[in-house]
Structures are given as structure tokens and as C-alpha cells.
Structure 1
Amino acid sequence: MPYKIMIAEDDADIAELISLYLENDDFQVVLAQNGKEALELFEKMDIDLLIVDLMMPELNGYETIRKIREVSKIPILILSAKSMNQDKVLGLGIGADMYMTKPFDALELVAQVKAMIRRSYHFSTSGQEPSSFFLKRGDLVYDPEKMCLKKAGKEISLTAYELKLLVAMMKAPGRVFTKLQLYQVISRDFCQADEDTIMVHISRIRSKIEEDPSKPKYIKTVRGLGYRFDDEDV
């Protein structure tokens, strides 16, 4: 059954172009002209991935992402003409997984969609751990079969990308991961690390697993290098 991609974009020409390329790769496409319509369709359909513009009428992309993140962990890709760093940080900070700017290469966009689908929905098929294996670090416990993380017995809500990053670090406590290495955990198709993307994801993970995100015990910053998962202090 083909994956269903929603495109929330008020520019009909851009939406049709993306749709053409995605359908050529056997994706099923749903079009929404604004955020309000996107939310209405989202409630009625099983959407696997959202491509969303930020500047849309009736309900902008930021609010659309916020509302979808309240009920779903589907991968979200922002496609926007807003190219300032603060726009990217804000978009990723409210729950998007990737950010691409216009003008864009349609083939690159499709490749990114494929990578996001693969990372999000094929996450548990690597065969690296038996289903009975639980990864425990301090009071964090990851169940690979259910693909869920618990802290002190309480489930923590993480997006697919946040979970992939955290699990990769939990598997190698003490190892220093560069931003490039972490970026390749979520998107091996692209060798150019996006530091803003990784910084925002790490910040969001810390806000969910740390008692005091400003003084993290689990994910430590190694200045000039990257990040390290440390369970010795917990």
C-alpha cells in the first residue's frame, strides 16, 4: 500500500509540481490549500508524512504543525521561502523534522521524503536487537519492539527523528558524536550536516528527558566537537 503524503501549500503550481514527482515514485498525494484544510483532511485520513509551507492563508504552517504535533508523530517537512536561520530554528522547534527552502530541487525533495519515510517507518526492521531486548540507561528504558521510551516508568513522547537520535546515543554511552554523524543518523542520503537541525532536535530531546535541560545529565555538549550521552551521573 503506497504511503500517503499531504502537501499543504497555497501555491497551486508548486503543489502540482511536487505532486507530480511524488506520484511518479508511487506515493499517494493529498493536497490542501491552507492549514485549516490540512487539519480537516488530517482528521479524516491516515497521513504518513506532511509537507507544509509556512506562509498560508487562514492557518499558517507554524500553527498547523503545532496542532498536528498535539496528536501525531508523523514526519513533517517544511518547504518555505523563509530562509532565515530563526525561521528554521522556530519551525524545527515546534516539531518539524526537516526544513527545505524555496526555490528547491524536486528530485532532492523526493529523495528527502523517501529518507524520512524510511527512517520513520522502517526504524524497527534493522534486525539489530531481538524483540526482548530493552536498552536501559539510568532511568531511561527503550523498548525497540514498541518503539517507545520511558523515563521512570512514564512514556516520553518523541518524534521519530528525536527517538532515532536518542537511541543512537544511548547505544554508545561516552562516545562523542559530531553534528555530522548525528545528522547522518536521521538522513544518510545527505552528507552535508545541518547544524541548526541537530541543535534544535537535541534541545527538544533534552526538554523531554532532562530534569533541568539547562544542566543536562544525559546529553552533554562537548564544546567544539558535538554531543555525548552520559549515564554515569544518573
Structure 2
Amino acid sequence: MTYDERILIVDDEVGILKMLEITLQKEHFTYIETASTKTEALQALGKKEFDIILLDVMLPDGDGFELCSSIRQQTTAPILFISARSSDFDKLTGLSVGGDDYITKPFNPLEVVARIRAIIRRQRVYEKKSVHSERKTYTYDTFAFSPDEALLTVHGEVVQATAKELELLHFFFKNPNRVFTTSQIYELVWGEDLFGEEKTVTIYIAKLRKKLRDNTRKPTIIVNLRGIGYKFIPPTGDAK
């Protein structure tokens, strides 16, 4: 099977760039572009669109976390951090600024391939379901969400969100008033073949609360049932 997704790899280590490029080519990925600095990455993103971005944290001319924030202003494409910085703080920072996954060095390049394939598989399943499903917009008292258009509005204003944030939001909207454990949410939204940690769910829920203008100290929309899990409570009952 040949993949035509456009992949951008950003890393200042030539050896890693070559290793990932060769591995991806052997695994039938046909379009790969590389950048070794923040400047080169932004130039590449300014010229064309990419479907997946692999991003190092430590770059010679800037911080990968800052670069991720800049990229998020241009695209919702999945971003996978690959970094030698392996502390929980670094991982949480990477996810909070818009990253979808975090891989620590040293790593097995085939693990990276597996994660990329998982992302592509989920995207294709979602697109297939969208084509065959009834068009629907979820409308509540203070916000509305159209999955087909990837459009979220809160108090009448369009809110920017990443693909993963919208995927999690859609999951909650499809399952109102149901309780899910953190493990269940991770498995159902991120996929059981990914290698991340369950704390990822907590971070993304916190991000959604802010975007929905839910009270982060005493949330009433996405609530945490201590020791049980999370539940989405529509502001005015069922969606219209």
C-alpha cells in the first residue's frame, strides 16, 4: 500500500532526518520533506500544506514548542513531537501547545511509522463515516459544532481547534450524559495501537473546557466524577 500523505520532518540532527526519511520511504510513504531549523520549517509550511508534521523540541534557531504554537495558527494537521527531553513537564507542555503525540529519543523508527499509520487510519475512517452519515450540526445554548466542516463556534465566535481536539469534542457530543473512564476515552479516541499516556486525555479535556468557556475550577459541561471518569453534560439537554 502506498501513502500519498505529505509529511514534514523538522529536526536539527541530520542522522535522524535521514533515518526517518529512509524508513518512511521503505514503508511506502511517497512525499517527505525535511527541515533542520525553525526558519526552514516555517518556509516549507508557507509554500504548501502537510498532512502530518514530526517536530523536534530543541532547534538551533528556536524552541519547538513555540514553533508548534505558530504552526497551529496555520494548520490543524497532526503534530508528533520527537525529542530527547523526556520529562513529564516537557510531554505535558508539548500536548498543551497543540501537539498530538510525544515520542522520546532514542526511539525505534518503526514505532514512528506505526503512530503515523494509526493517525492516517483514523482519519480515513472518519472521512468515510462523514461521507455516508447524515449531515448534522450539534447546537447547544452557548456553542455549536459542525463535524463535517470542522467548525466550532462559542457565543457566536469561531474557535480555532486542532483535529484531535475536535475529534474528542465530537466523541463527547455523540455520547452525552454517559460516563467514560480515562482509559476508555483514550482507547476510543486515540486508538489502542498508540503508545501515549492516559494523562493526555486530562490535558485535552482541560483545553476543551477553556474553548467551550466552561468553568475550569467547577466545570459544568465536561465534568469529572472523582475516581470514575468524565461525563459531557449538554448545557440545555440534548443537541438540537
The TM-score normalised by the length of structure 2 is 0.88
Alignment check: 8 A CA contact 2:118 2:193 kept:
no
Tell me what 1:25 maps to. 27
Structure 2 Cα separation of the partners of residues 91 and 82 of structure 1: 10
Give the Å deviation of 1:121.
Answer: 5.8
Give the Å deviation of 1:185.
Answer: 3.0
The structure 2 residue matched to 1:169, chosen from 168, 172, 175, is: 172
Alignment check: 8 A CA contact 1:78 1:98 kept:
yes
Alignment check: 8 A CA contact 1:180 1:191 kept:
no
Give the Å deviation of 1:120.
Answer: 4.3
Structure 1 unpaired stretches of 5+: none
Alignment check: 8 A CA contact 2:35 2:41 kept:
yes
Structure 2 Cα separation of the partners of residues 139 and 51 of structure 1: 35
Tell me what 2:121 maps to. 118
The structure 2 residue matched to 1:106, chosen from 90, 93, 109, is: 109
Give the Å deviation of 1:135.
Answer: 2.4
Give the Å deviation of 1:163.
Answer: 0.7
Give the Å deviation of 1:127.
Answer: 4.8
Alignment check: 8 A CA contact 1:131 1:144 kept:
no
Structure 1 Cα separation of the partners of residues 128 and 173 of structure 2: 18
Tell me what 1:75 maps to. 78
Tell me what 1:190 maps to. 193
Dislocated runs of 4+, deviation >6 Å? none
- Number of aligned residues: 234
CA RMSD of aligned residues (A): 2.2
Alignment check: 8 A CA contact 2:115 2:194 kept:
no
Are 1:199 and 2:202 counterparts? yes
Alignment check: 8 A CA contact 1:88 1:196 kept:
no
Percent of aligned pairs with the same residue?
32
Structure 2 Cα separation of the partners of residues 227 and 81 of structure 1: 32
Give the Å deviation of 1:24.
Answer: 2.1
SS of the aligned residue for 1:3 comes to: strand
Structure 2 Cα separation of the partners of residues 132 and 9 of structure 1: 40
Range that drifts further, 159-168 or 204-213: 204-213
* Deviation readout 1:119-175 (Å, 9 max, x if unpaired): 346533225973432223443322232122222333221111111111111111111
Structure 1 Cα separation of the partners of residues 166 and 220 of structure 2: 18
Tell me what 2:65 maps to. 62
Give the Å deviation of 1:227.
Answer: 1.2
Structure 2 unpaired stretches of 5+: none
C-alpha distance 101-179 of structure 1, shift in aligned 2 (>3 A):
same
Alignment check: 8 A CA contact 2:140 2:235 kept:
no
Superposed, 1:32-71 pairs within 5 Å as 32-71=35-74
Structure 1 Cα separation of the partners of residues 136 and 33 of structure 2: 38
Give the Å deviation of 1:106.
Answer: 1.4
